[in-house]
Structure 1
């Protein structure tokens, strides 16, 4: 039998735990419906304060995850992974507990609703003094006890230390017993001020939000304090802790036990001597160049809804494949406005990174939405953004930059040739990754297939797939209205293989072909020409609709990254965890192999097998 009071009583409810606030919300709604002033009820303040606390944690998480704002000041460059996100999934249990206790007190002691005073400075001063003199040392003793007693640490506190990289949400991850004790400590300053007759609504808001703010700051993994402030005012280092100070506790565990005030570590002889020197070093490093990534994947936003899938907005949402959720609908108008702001001012920025084989891999996003790539007047601006990212990567010393789907559109920039021709002395290798994309699609096709139907046949990928299959003596029906383009591709095939390439101009030609390779978006009506039991392979963005129930559909070409990839915390659009689009994987292989050539323009069919074998050698796996 495990230790008591480890698990939360409402664990069985999962994400429905907030339904326990139903009665108190119903009470507020009833008063509002009757036209009474809900702002005078403690019920309303409990609910509203809970909302503000969630927003505060979200704001801190957003700041910490915005690499372009905070990465230079990161304390640990390890990065958060899926395991930590899952471990901290129920980080908000402490808020549920405190809200429920507040509601219980409301019904047990109705007289506390007489806190009609909005503001009383005396109460804030009293709470501050009680916190410094009573709550802080009490927390220090309790925290140190949980560390010094192996049974307490292993049964309770070790759960908090399972998060390798402190984050704002890490602060809330604790066992039921720990948060009950923390609730008691938080209640001392507020309750003490109330007993003195200085209670007020503002006291609850200010103390609770300040408490959460400082906890989020300490676990943010971002050193926000300039070291100069502690050199000018040395005594401050004992009155306020820093993120660096708290991060040392997570690494070494037997030091820096304070809540917010290091003076108690000083008095208890548990202050780590290198705390301030390390803080100064990280502060100084913030003005220097951050670690240069070896590889950059230059992505783009597909639509306004998928823009909400970036990790610096909702971490838990980004940790799963993209799908539209109803609770995100209120965010859509905001994202719509941000879209225009990004269109006007934004530059490519980093949104995530991971480590693989000792190399740092970044994902940058061009602040353009999918539909903008099809606006003729937007072409110049989009290419300017992509060029800016390439030149920035070149200046930084990035070795390989891979272009995502629409960023390498043939009509936009010739699959990247525009930039390579314009800047012949680039040190960064520009890669469209389509060679591996073609390889992934081709390896989905079994050896016994004798005939395929190919739409988008004259595109970069269509051409390479057709030529490769013709060499395997597979008959390829190439859908194209341009006889000239078809002939040009056909003549690239060996003479004995040219007969396997056949031009067709209508979908009806494939009514008996069960293997369709779709490189151009097709409507449900066009899909209807496929015979029963047909399979649709595809390399089209966005993916085609799964219209036929009597047929099967393949996903977009993708590969699973090696198991030793570290710091993965975001799903790439609709891909599963650890899975990336094949063009992304193509850039990864290019980087791991150390190839020094650009991969732009037409696909070299002779390299398809070479790239595939290199991907398998490095541990990438087909999905």
Structure 2
């Protein structure tokens, strides 16, 4: 932040507005297009990382379920999961592209004027605080409101799918063919449910909060990666998503089990609606301890087998 900017914010005369098209964040790719393709790229890239961890057995110590359990209990093969996710991404890209056609071209050149206006209403506020509040604080607030909207939208729609047998059978039962979740299956849904739950939910959150194309890109990518992490099948002690958010891979894994399917409807960020409505599974800590014991036992077997192969 330069002295010139501070002087303009503190000045008696409003800064001149000189609007022009904003340069894209990535050269050659409009911000609106980036918002469409970035979450798709993030999905396949982040999921592939977990897939490689699975294939090469790089983190057996942190598996929630043994690998053989994944193969025995899941009712759908990997290629079918990948096909369905591709369909959902095609629908997502089409819907986002239609919305992009009606979005105004991003412009810049009026930021100093708006910061100066803030200063007129809040003369006691330091110009530096106004600068950071305008450029970063507003975006953070909009992001937090947006993820609350996403949580609210997904909780009630998700819960409704479970409470009405026909809706569950027609739509949501497909996702629950994965009793042992893994990363590629994060968006394994019926296309109608995928559109309503994920595409429409995040789109409404972006529109209601007035996210810019760049802010929307960050929110879409963040939500995508969080959803993948919830389905990754691992309980990592150093994973930021699993540390910050109580709604993590273990919490959501409970919902995929036969005995936990009527609980833990919250997704993808916080568990406030589960707590308010009493739908949180009451024995989460006991489940974590049990799974750790199973994982530890299987991990010892994995190490023993690995040692035998070397010998």
So what's the TM-score if we normalise by structure 2?
0.69
TM-superposition CA deviations, 1:37-87 (whole Å, max 9, x none): 52345235533543233212222322344423x212211211336943133
**Greater relative CO, 1 or 2 (CA 8 Å, sep 6+):** 2
Give the deviation of 1:158 after TM superposition: 0.6
Give the deviation of 1:250 after TM superposition: 0.6
The answer to whether structure 1 residue 254 and structure 2 residue 262 are counterparts is yes
Q: 1:284 to 1:293 in 2, by over 3 A?
A: closer
Q: Work out which of the residue numbers 150, 171, 174 in structure 2 matches 1:156.
A: 171
What secondary structure, in the 3-state scheme, does the structure 2 residue paired with 1:80 have?
Answer: helix
1:174-573 alignment to 2 at 5 Å?
Answer: 174-182=189-197, 183-194=199-210, 199-201=212-214, 203-225=215-237, 239-251=245-257, 252=259, 253-259=261-267, 260-283=269-292, 290-292=299-301, 392-393=307-308, 401=309
TM-superposition CA deviations, 1:459-498 (whole Å, max 9, x none): xxxxxxxxxxxxxxxxxxxxxxxxxxxxxxxxxxxxxxxx
Contact 1:64 1:220 (8 Å CA) reproduced: no
Contact 1:115 1:200 (8 Å CA) reproduced: no
- Residue aligning to 1:88: 81
Contact 1:123 1:193 (8 Å CA) reproduced: no
TM-superposition CA deviations, 1:307-355 (whole Å, max 9, x none): xxxxxxxxxxxxxxxxxxxxxxxxxxxxxxxxxxxxxxxxxxxxxxxxx
Contact 1:93 1:172 (8 Å CA) reproduced: no
- Residue aligning to 1:535: none
Contact 2:32 2:213 (8 Å CA) reproduced: no
Q: Structure 2: which 5+ runs fail to align?
A: 1-25, 110-134
- Residue aligning to 1:16: none
The count of aligned residue pairs is 249
TM-superposition CA deviations, 1:121-180 (whole Å, max 9, x none): 412321212322x32122111111100100001111111111232011111111122112
So what's the TM-score if we normalise by structure 1?
0.36
Contact 1:225 1:283 (8 Å CA) reproduced: no
What secondary structure, in the 3-state scheme, does the structure 2 residue paired with 1:52 have?
Answer: helix
Name whichever structure is richer in helix by fraction.
Answer: 2
Contact 1:126 1:193 (8 Å CA) reproduced: yes
Please provide the CA RMSD for this pair: 3.2
Q: 1:66 to 1:147 in 2, by over 3 A?
A: same
Structure 1 CA distance, aligned partners of 2:235 and 2:288?
Answer: 7
What secondary structure, in the 3-state scheme, does the structure 1 residue paired with 2:78 have?
Answer: helix
- Residue aligning to 1:38: 28
Contact 1:146 1:152 (8 Å CA) reproduced: yes
Structure 1 CA distance, aligned partners of 2:301 and 2:175?
Answer: 32
Contact 2:34 2:217 (8 Å CA) reproduced: no
TM-superposition CA deviations, 1:268-313 (whole Å, max 9, x none): 11111111222244457767771415995xxxxxxxxxxxxxxxxx
Q: Structure 1: which 5+ runs fail to align?
A: 1-35, 297-388, 394-400, 404-418, 420-623
